[in-house]
């Protein structure tokens, strides 16, 4: 029978794990055309407003396939419930049997997103990070910074937000885990001092103008994952020396790259797909001066890889073969 | 946290339940346009061959929504595993939270299919059933006959199959639960004596010719649920006085009605949708002499209704609010 693991169990095992190799392999398989990812399933609710997405797929010839269900009900906050919830299901690709139920409540989606940011930073960020810039003060703004400890020793963070309260909370939380955090309401303070900048907001208009960009800066754009959201001035993609997308097909339809394509500031031929770009193991950045941008919209193969790794680790802890 | 119920627990509670009212309401809501059912999600596997389908939806304004996952891996028999497996997930439509995991392994799909057969028999079968005819000797051939005890007292069954071994097993099993079973390899023996006939085979060419049809017969066609499968001569739909489909949109693309439409023996205007036909509570059959056909391809609202009812009943047994 299927084994069920709770969020507490999942959090405990994830703390001990490093997913970057699994997720790198996933991106490479994806770019090699070895991954089956059907269109996302969707349910929309009106009263109260909410949505549920079903993402699913598998790597050909692998042992498992994965179905992820994630919902967002944004009025839950009124009744003191988290807005997001969800689970991941791991099935055998050999028999169809359900093997593992991961009641992760959306946590593993955050983990796999953070790991993608870690991977692009490893391949694209400057060797010497002056300071880590962060736009946004939420969960991903924290997870991205913490996961970068595998890429850089830099502990200096400059965080931009719209609310003093959120900035204060972010500073307190991140300083308690060893970072030196400067907060600001002015994006120039970030772009002037940081050469590794992480975008994690739900903004729908640019937070950074092309005129602010310093040579040698790397941007990881995570917040914009729909056709409406946008964090970067589209002209940054014209200026950039290297542009990478987690999925070429998705970036044609959503995210900052989509906006730049529509604006005519970027041609799709300039965009490299992450899995193809890292296949050789060579760094993507070629010089200190280059401006580089990675646009991450989230690919189901990340869910597949993280769910497999977590269920394997939990089974090992539980003594399940 | 979500509650998980196993197949044993599900079977135990289902024995005490009657789903016909819930599923009737589901069909009526479906025909009234009150049900949201997105396209079915699908994963296809090649080595070993298999498929997984994700069906999901909800009745507008209801408390719950349901996602069903069902797989078929047909080489499992070689390793002594059932070919089908799956589960149903019940979520809150108010908060998105996962409430119940039903590890039914495909059992509840059989239950909801059997109940649809019970409903059409109640509205369409002759008042006086001479004998129940059954094509096929599998699970559905058994469940259909047993569920008809709520519609008719008739215990006489004539069953058609291709294999003497399967027919013998069917006869033994059904006689042990109180039926008087006659087996045959000749379909004429069924059509000559039975006026309530259930089709439950995976046939891809007609098992019954229009010339065999006796006045006053009702057919429930369950086996054909794809564009390839067919159990009834398409001309039966021309002869029939009343034709009912569980879903007009699905029957345009699959099942015996689809075959009859393609053959030009049936116009879609003649087909009534089940939920619309039973809305008033009036019987669909209007006379003893009428030939009637119901074509059931399976609608996600049946899954929604059965999963909700079963999870409610199991929660009550377990003392969960």
Give the CATH number of the domain where residue B88 resides.
Answer: 3.30.1780.10
- Residues A172, A284, single domain; the answer is yes
**Chain A CA closest to residue B61:** A47
Which CATH number goes with the domain that contains A268?
A: 3.40.50.720
- Residues A130, A277, single domain; the answer is yes
A contacts of B69 (beta carbons < 8 Å):
67, 89, 98
Number of folded domains that form chain B: 2
- Residues A256, A160, single domain; the answer is yes
- Residues A82, A225, single domain; the answer is no
Three-class HEC string of B1-45: CCEEECHHHHHHHHCCCCCHHHHHHHHHHHHCCCEECCCCEEEEE
| Residue-number span of the structural domain to which B259 is assigned | 122-299
- Residues B103, B140, single domain; the answer is no
Cα distance between residue B16 and residue B13, in whole Å: 6
Answer yes or no: are the C-beta atoms of B70 and B86 closer than 8 Å.
yes
Q: Is residue A33 part of a domain?
A: yes
Report the candidate in A310, A96, A242 with the shortest Cα–Cα distance to residue B87: A96
- Asked if the peptide bond before residue A318 counts as cis, ω within 30 degrees of 0, the response is no
How far is CA B123 from each of CA A263, B20, B144, B219, rounded to the nearest angstrom?
Answer: 60, 12, 15, 12
**Which one of B43, B96, B102, B105 would you mutate to disrupt binding with A, by most A Cβ within 10 Å of its Cβ?**
B96
Q: Name the strand (E) or helix (H) holding A58.
A: strand A49-59
Q: Could you give the residue ranges of the DSSP H alpha helices within chain A? A: 7-14, 20-31, 107-124, 139-147, 164-176, 187-193, 235-239, 248-251, 255-263, 274-277, 300-318
Residues A52, B91: C-beta atoms closer than 8 Å: yes
- Residues B152, B40, single domain; the answer is no
DSSP state of A108: H
pLDDT of residue A321: 67
Q: Is residue A114 part of a domain?
A: no
Answer yes or no: are the C-beta atoms of B34 and B134 closer than 8 Å.
no
Q: Would an 8 Å CB–CB cutoff place A3 in contact with chain B?
A: no
- Residues B31, B149, single domain; the answer is no
pLDDT in tens, chain A (321 residues): 899 999 999 999 999 999 999 999 999 999 999 999 998 899 999 999 999 999 999 999 999 999 999 999 989 989 999 888 899 999 999 999 999 999 999 999 999 999 999 999 999 999 999 999 999 999 999 999 999 999 999 999 999 999 999 999 999 999 999 999 999 999 999 999 999 999 999 999 999 999 999 999 999 999 988 889 999 999 999 999 999 999 999 999 999 999 999 999 999 999 999 999 999 999 999 999 999 999 999 999 999 999 999 999 999 998 886
- Residues A28, A89, single domain; the answer is yes
Q: Is residue A117 part of a domain?
A: no
- Residues B58, B187, single domain; the answer is no
pLDDT in tens, chain B (321 residues): 899 999 999 999 999 999 999 999 999 999 999 999 998 899 999 999 999 999 999 999 999 999 999 999 989 989 999 888 899 999 999 999 999 999 999 999 999 999 999 999 999 999 999 999 999 999 999 999 999 999 999 999 999 999 999 999 999 999 999 999 999 999 999 999 999 999 999 999 999 999 999 999 999 999 988 889 999 999 999 999 999 999 999 999 999 999 999 999 999 999 999 999 999 999 999 999 999 999 999 999 999 999 999 999 999 998 886
pLDDT tens digits, B67-122: 999 999 989 989 999 888 899 999 999 999 999 999 999 999 999 999 999 999 99
Q: Is residue B115 part of a domain?
A: no
pLDDT tens digits, A271-321: 999 999 999 999 999 999 999 999 999 999 999 999 999 999 999 998 886
Residues B96, A72: C-beta atoms closer than 8 Å: yes
Q: What are phi and psi of A294, to 5 degrees?
A: -115, 130
Cα distance between residue A137 and residue A162, in whole Å: 9
Contacts of B42 (CB under 8 A, 6+ apart): A38, B51, B52, B53, B54
Residues A95, B87: C-beta atoms closer than 8 Å: no
Q: Is residue A78 part of a domain?
A: yes
**Chain A CA closest to residue B82:** A95
Q: Is residue A267 part of a domain?
A: yes
Nearest to B42 among A38, A44, A79 (CB): A38
Per-residue b or e along B171-189, where b marks 16 or more CB atoms closer than 10 Å to that residue's CB = beebeeeebebebeeebeb
B contacts of A91 (beta carbons < 8 Å):
52, 71
Q: Would an 8 Å CB–CB cutoff place B54 in contact with chain A?
A: yes
- Provide the whole-model pTM: 0.91
Answer yes or no: are the C-beta atoms of B275 and B30 closer than 8 Å.
yes
Q: Is residue A99 part of a domain?
A: yes
Q: Is residue B117 part of a domain?
A: no
Per-residue b or e along A267-300, where b marks 16 or more CB atoms closer than 10 Å to that residue's CB = eeeebbbbbebbeeeeebbeeeebbbbbbbbbbb
- Residues B175, B273, single domain; the answer is yes
Q: Name the strand (E) or helix (H) holding B214.
A: none
Cα distance between residue B16 and residue B242, in whole Å: 33
- Residues A44, A178, single domain; the answer is no
B contacts of A101 (beta carbons < 8 Å):
4, 101
A contacts of B94 (beta carbons < 8 Å):
48, 73
- Residues A164, A242, single domain; the answer is yes
List the beta bridge partners of residue A85: A71
**Chain B CA closest to residue A70:** B96
Q: What are phi and psi of B44, to 5 degrees?
A: -115, 135
Cα distance between residue B12 and residue B181, in whole Å: 27
């Amino acid at each position: 029978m299927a084994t069920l693991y709770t969020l507490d169990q999942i959090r405990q095992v994830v703390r001990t794990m490093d997913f970057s190799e699994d997720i790198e392999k996933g991106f490479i398989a994806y770019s090699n055309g070895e991954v089956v990812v059907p269109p996302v399933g969707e349910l929309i609710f009106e009263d109260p407003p909410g949505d549920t997405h079903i993402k699913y797929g598998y790597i050909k010839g692998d042992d498992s396939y994965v179905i992820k269900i994630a919902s967002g009900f944004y009025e839950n906050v009124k009744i003191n419930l988290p807005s997001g919830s969800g689970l991941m299901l791991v099935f055998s690709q050999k028999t169809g049997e359900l093997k593992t139920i991961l009641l992760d409540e959306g946590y593993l989606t955050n983990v796999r997103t953070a790991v993608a940011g870690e991977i692009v930073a490893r391949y694209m960020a400057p060797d010497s990070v002056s300071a880590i810039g962060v736009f946004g003060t939420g969960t991903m703004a924290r997870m991205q910074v913490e996961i970068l400890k595998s890429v850089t020793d830099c502990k200096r963070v400059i965080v931009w937000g719209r609310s003093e309260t959120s900035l204060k909370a972010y500073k307190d939380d991140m300083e308690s885990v060893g970072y030196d955090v400067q907060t600001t309401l002015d994006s120039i303070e970030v772009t002037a001092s940081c050469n590794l900048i992480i975008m994690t907001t739900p903004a729908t208009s640019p937070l950074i103008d092309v005129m602010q960009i310093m040579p040698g800066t790397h941007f990881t754009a995570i917040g914009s994952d729909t056709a409406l959201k946008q964090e970067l001035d589209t002209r940054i993609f014209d200026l950039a020396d290297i542009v990478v997308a987690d999925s070429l097909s998705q970036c044609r339809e959503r995210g900052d790259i989509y906006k730049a394509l529509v604006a005519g500031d970027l041609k799709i031929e300039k965009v490299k797909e992450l899995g193809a770009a890292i296949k050789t193991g060579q760094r993507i950045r070629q010089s200190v001066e280059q401006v580089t941008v990675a646009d991450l919209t989230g690919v189901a193969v990340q869910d597949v890889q993280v769910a497999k790794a977590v269920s394997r680790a939990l089974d090992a802890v539980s003594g399940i073969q």
